Structure 1
Amino acid sequence: MTGLCTGRVAVVTGAGRGLGRAHALALAAEGARVVVNDLGVGLDGTGGTGTPAQRVADEIRAGGGEALAHGGDIATSAGAASLVTAALDTYGRLDTLVNNAGFLRDRMLVNLDEDDWDAVLRVHLKGHFLPLRHAAAHWRAEAKAGRAPVARVVNTTSGAGLLGSVGQGNYAAAKAGITALTLVAAAELGRYGVQVNAVAPAARTRMTAQTFADTMAAPPDGGFDAMAPDNVSPLVTWLGSAACAGVTGRVFEAEGGRITVMEGWRPGPTTDKGARWSPAEAGAATLALLAAAEPVQPVYGTR
């Protein structure tokens, strides 16, 4: 390892298993001191024990690193505030926030009830906003005190949030919201020395195991495991380091050995009559524009 994050303190939410665990281990391997947050809930967000966070913190310490387990609920203001406080009280600083916590409650829209909608939006979207808000308040105070931070935020979006996913209306909406939140945060916080980016990972985790059981199996005979969560963590680690100076407001897709810069909504074909359209005229003009536009990407589950 190169010591890319030596001297930095990183917080990773949802770090007890899967992608979050891989990120925490990768950051620690590059020299970061890591606050490992996880409630230890089930795949649907029910139940809960702090044990997974403690196991990962113990694993980091066993490898010679420094880590602290945190079992607070980061979708509450008190829990998110305590996460930032834990980093500051224990290590005296906070440099990197990796927002990763989440769970699934998949349903087709006609079967998706309000509780399932609220629960998924809460953990993904609110669970990104609140740690970001409390970390940003600290970094703003540091900047105003003349101690400009070199701060990094890495949010976790999804292909479902970028393209949509059948049976995941709640999850896709939350992940799309995280993408927009990333763009706003990058624009607002840059003046305080904070860079904010998002990664849409594809990996074999508890959340993807049932959906992609056939395509995400580990390869035999020790071949390259393209779906291992560890493949996503190098990009997350670099985005969480000082080395990514100038990279902010970007969304990346990471899968196996592939990294893609995602290019989102931007103006395409346009026309201007210079006066009000009639409905029939607007329709004809729109059809002409669509004929000149790039085709839409298919929603996951419709290919």
Structure 2
Amino acid sequence: MPRQAYVNGRYTPHNDAAVHIEDRGYQFADGVYEVVPVYNGILVDEEPHLDRLERSLRELQIEMPMSRAAMKLVSRELMRRNNLSRGFVYMQITRGVAPRDHKFPTKPTAPALVMTTRQMKPHSAEALEKGVKVITLRDIRWERCDIKSVSLLPNVLGKQAAAEAGAYEAWQIDDEDNITEGTSANAWIVTDSDTVVTRHANNGILNGITRMALLDLIEKEGFTLEERPFSVEEARAAREAFVTSSSSFVMPVTQIDDKPVGNGHPGLLTMKLRETYIAYMNSLKEAG
């Protein structure tokens, strides 16, 4: 069976899936999205992902196109149709189809829902053994990064700059020279005193679901944590650094721009946190 997608109430071959040219997501990026990782056949942290999806919709005054229970059923049916055991369920909701006009449509529109799946590529053994490089660049995004909007052009430009520099990710810098987050991942450092530091969740970052899960795991493991801004200078002087996301899990960072982090190798605490997070995901299957 060819790969399937779900578009506005219908399952369809992925290659045939399409939306109307006047969908406001296409015209104005007037919509939000969510990506739920699938690990060993289990949707990881599905409830927090749906919580964030509903919050983003509320911030844009868009209704949920169906109940949460129905969204779960569609996710599982797509996983079944696409034989997905490790990967992602992608869901995008826009305000729907309306004549092109910047303001909200005067007539009610039905929110448009698209859901797809994608297989997860194994993490590079070299990346885990040697760590990855990040570059730094100015954060040019809008001031509501807490909304998981489909408007991602600044992130795209940052990710492209990272790729051209041979880097895994780009860490974005605010007007006070503090790191906000990566283009698609949250940023973390570990100080010489074994303190794990990540920026506090506000409108300047997207509060990652992997980030929130790791915060809980850090507390359970008894590590010292600080949620606060940290500068580029502090990051370059840190003993360890890493990123978290639904696709990266916990990925060690060993170079920032042209400067090695710590001894230039993945940190012991970073790798411990990665192991802890993977064990957490495995425990979901056992409990599922």
Q: TM-score, normalised by structure 1?
A: 0.25
Q: Which has the higher helix share?
A: 1
Is the radius of gyration larger for structure 1 or structure 2? 1
Q: TM-score, normalised by structure 2?
A: 0.26
Q: Which has the higher strand share?
A: 2
